[in-house]
Amino acid sequence: MDNTSIQIAHTILNQIKILDRYALMAWGAKRFISLPESKGVQGGVQFKVNGLTFKNWVRVELTWLDVYNVTFINTRGEVVKQFDDVYCDMLVDIIDWVENKHAA
């Protein structure tokens, strides 16, 4: 994994912490993985959550248009819900909404 991918992952996590410093802890976030650059994204971060109702993977990817795609993935690796073109100030609200509204 190159340094840029790790830096993007850290930036995303820091943005979440700035919006709500307790969010990652409240979601039971763990097993953080930085995601590599690809054709559609500059990089991102994926982590496991153990919230009240959603207990699977969340993937946050930074697109080349400087917005995020947020994907919720179940234990079988299937996409449960996806939000595209998310701004950084919306990250906590979107993850909170899915965590509270959708059981997987």
pLDDT value of position 83? 96
With cut-offs at 50, 70 and 90, classify the pLDDT of residue 104. Answer: very low
Convert the pLDDT of each residue in 6-26 to its tens digit. Answer: 999 999 999 999 999 999 998
CB atoms within 10 A of CB 16: 21
The secondary structure of residue 40, as a DSSP letter, is S
Q: What whole-number distance in Å separates Cα of residue 26 and Cα of residue 84?
A: 23
Tokens 């994994």 correspond to 1
pLDDT value of position 22? 93
Whole-model pTM? 0.90
Convert the pLDDT of each residue in 23-63 to its tens digit. Answer: 999 899 999 999 999 999 999 999 999 877 778 999 999 99
Convert the pLDDT of each residue in 84-100 to its tens digit. Answer: 999 999 999 999 887 76
Query: If 0-12 CB within 10 Å is exposed, 13-18 middle and 19+ buried, where does residue 58 land?
Result: buried
pLDDT value of position 80? 92
